[in-house]
Amino acid sequence: MKKIKSTGSLRVLGEFVKKFHNNDNVLVPNPTWANHIAILEKSGLKTDKYKYYNFINNGFDKDGMLQDLSNAANGSIVLLHACCHNPTGVDPNLNDWDDILNKISEKKLLPILDMAYQGFGSGNPITDLNILFKFNEAVVNGKLSNFMLSQSFAKNMGLYGERVGSLSIITKDSDESVRVKSQLEKIIRPLYSSPPSHGSKLVEIILSNETIYNQWLKDVKIMSDRLNDMRKLLFDKLKNDYHNELNWDHLLNQKGMFCYTGLNQDQVSKLIDKSVYLTSDGRISIAGIYEKNVDYLANAINEVTK
């Protein structure tokens, strides 16, 4: 494991697989965080998209994803969002993850898991690790040879400016781990040499002090609950106050900081004219909603969707 934020860890992992993996094609979800493609391609990798989001019902396209993984060349790399998918907020459930893991194993794909919002899915950082436990078990049982993990603690520890995160490569045995570590060090040396220490020392304090650690768990739950409360508040405004006839269930089903609203580019443009700013694909930041602006937001969405 190396201490480095998610963006940097993905770049290091990209450099590593480009050098040592026999396939340089990475499958990324459609859609995905825009910087994913830039980071991976800057590492010399090629990217293709697999189906992930159902643009009709604003939910998870499980069948489409499994089909695209089935069609992938054996040994391809696949990028996965561990929880609170950015930008859609749509996550597979644990049973879905079992099917995804089976397909990854069948096709001998190399998984890279990106986890930037640990704790925002369930409200508990440990519960959100259930997906990783599944992947760990798959390595132990020989179902996977290994997998890679990129983690960021910028959001759930409030240390965005400190660039706190880590990269991990889970291998089949300790001998392979030693070899992997030595090669990672060679890759890291000309990229950034050594990470900043202040953020990791703060994290060490949080995780090593039981009182502070328990307070952190409570704080993460508060942040997660607030996001869910804002989702419900916007949903209630649209359905009960403005009686909007569209289906807004996805507001409640999606998780994390972001939401794919289902609004099209024309509707987004009209919202911008009303000083409501969101990306052209209809993504909004749930964290930017609060009690004093939710009515204005709901009214504006209602007006452009009539």
- Where in the sequence numbering do the catalytic residues fall? 33, 114, 155
Measured between alpha carbons, how far is 96 from 88 in angstroms, rounded to an integer?
Answer: 17
- Please enumerate in sequence order all residues whose Cβ is within 8 A of that of 39, keeping only pairs 6 or more positions apart, or say none: 7, 10, 11, 14
Measured between alpha carbons, how far is 261 from 251 in angstroms, rounded to an integer?
Answer: 7
Find, among 164, 162, 78, the residue nearest to 116 by Cα. 164
For residues 51 and 64, is the Cβ–Cβ distance under 8 A? yes
User: What is the rounded (10 degree) CA torsion for 137, 143, 149, 155?
Assistant: -50
User: Which SS3 state, helix, strand or coil, does residue 2 take?
Assistant: strand
Measured between alpha carbons, how far is 24 from 196 in angstroms, rounded to an integer?
Answer: 30
276 bridge partner residues: none
For residues 27 and 77, is the Cβ–Cβ distance under 8 A? yes
Measured between alpha carbons, how far is 108 from 143 in angstroms, rounded to an integer?
Answer: 9
Kindly state the helix (H) or strand (E) to which residue 200 belongs, with its residue range: helix 198-208
212-215 contact pairs (CB < 8 A, 24+): none
Measured between alpha carbons, how far is 78 from 177 in angstroms, rounded to an integer?
Answer: 21
